[in-house]
Amino acid sequence: MFAVKGSCNAAADKLESPGKRRFLDGRGGNLCRPSPGVSFSGLGKLRSNSISAVLDKVGTGTVEGFNGATLADRLRLGSLTEDRLSYKERFIVRCYEVGINKTATVETMANLLQEVGCNHAQSVGFSTDGFATTTSMRKMHLIWVTARMHIEIYKYPAWSDVVEIETWCQGEGRIGTRRDWIMKDYADGEVIGRATSKWVMMNMDTRRLQKVTDDVRDEILAHCPKELRLSIPEENNNSLKKIPKLENPAHVREGLMPRRSDLDMNRHVNNVAYIGWVLESMPEEIIDTHELQSITLDYRRECQRDDVVDSLTSPEQLEGEGVQGTNGSAAKSSGSFLHFLRLSPSGHEINRGRTEWRKKAPK
């Protein structure tokens, strides 16, 4: 069903039998970069909660160690929360991160989710080789790979807005872990978005999925909330909804190619590029009149430098039928679309996705 290409293959909807299948790093085979997944051999570096004191020190030219924190640790506007079971960081939206609507693009938001995940992992003492693994995982040559990513944006921040993102992890049965995020407008505390992701363990040598062992589970759970905490809590929401395969696309954009800047250090395509490719085949009239409310991507197969990609899109339901926004979001979707990215010309599935769109507010 999912043919092997190169050394990687993926079957994200078959997580119940991970050992039987090969898998890819869902961030695009990004096996060396620090993963937003959990990890962490220890409690990590001491961090000061008093940013003012730290910056004061930096301001006087002292860039030496401060409680063992790196220079970046001290300048970053983020830290573990008081209970050390989640991590919060603030980001100022930069001028080059906004798009057509003068607000942050969904790619910007996805990048920030990745960054805050990386920094969380780092702050609890992840393996510094970039694999963000626990001690047990390193012994067994295991790494984390993404199986699914779901992002909901209720309000896109504008240039110079300050976004605060909180993130945390938890176990997801035997099959892996889950990382959740809540995005807030830091000026008024309004929740402007939520996201959740599923991660599974892959053996680097065999490139096969593997169940989470007790050892790894214990190492992870030490850094997770003790009670289930979900950014998108309802059972029946789009973050869980199955994505059917798109058979007869209404809109196709063929011949998309990775750029060098899409490649990570393993020369695989970074996951944010997939979001861009999905949007490529959206009909122009929807882009012009709507904004993206949510995107869900199931990761199946990695993309490499010389691959050519086709982006396929079809409406999942008629415009205006409406889908209830999840989790208390006031905005209702006014259109849902199914997406399919495939390798050209083989047609092999890279990933499938769903997007929901709401009408733009009148200006």
Cis before 345? omega within 30: yes
Nearer to a copy of itself, 64 or 235 (CB): 64
Using DSSP, state whether 30 is helix, strand or coil. Answer: coil
Shortest separation between residue 174's beta carbon and a copy of itself, angstroms: 28
Query: How are the residues of the chain apportioned to helix, strand and coil, as percentages rounded to the nearest 5?
Result: 20, 35, 45
Nearer Cβ to a copy of itself (86/111)? 111
**Minimal distance in Å, beta carbon 274 to a copy of itself?**
12
To the nearest whole angstrom, how small is the minimum distance from the Cβ of residue 95 to a copy of itself? 4
Q: How far is the CB of 235 from a copy of itself (least distance, A)?
A: 32
* Contact status, residue 44 vs residue 125, Cβ threshold 8 Å: yes
Closest CA to 251 of 312, 318, 308: 312
Q: How far apart are CA 25 and CA 176, in angstroms?
A: 13
Q: How far is the CB of 350 from a copy of itself (least distance, A)?
A: 16
Q: How far is the CB of 263 from a copy of itself (least distance, A)?
A: 6
Q: Which is nearer to a copy of itself, 70 or 346 (CB)?
A: 70
* Residue 98 DSSP label: B
Question: Do residues 206 and 259 make contact, with C-beta atoms less than 8 angstroms apart?
Answer: no
Is the CB of 61 or the CB of 320 nearer to a copy of itself?
A: 61
Cα-to-chain-centroid distance, residue 40: 19
The residues of the shown chain that bind a copy of itself, judged by CB under 8 A, are 32-34, 50-53, 55-56, 59, 63, 70-72, 75-77, 90, 92, 94-96, 98-102, 105, 107, 111, 114-115, 118-119, 122, 130, 159-162, 186-188, 255-257, 259-261, 263-265, 267, 270, 272, 276-277, 279-280, 287
The smaller minimum CB distance to a copy of itself, of residues 4 and 53, is found at 53
Cβ proximity to a copy of itself: between 43 and 158 the closer is 158
Contacts for 133-138 with beta carbons within 8 Å, 24 or more apart? Answer: 133/39, 133/41, 134/38, 134/39, 134/40, 134/41, 134/215, 134/216, 134/219, 134/220, 135/41, 135/219, 136/213, 136/215, 136/216, 136/219, 137/39, 137/201, 137/216, 137/219, 138/41
Contact 301, 10 (CB under 8 A): yes
The single residue listed with the structure tokens 């909804």 is 241
Known catalytic residues? 266, 268, 303
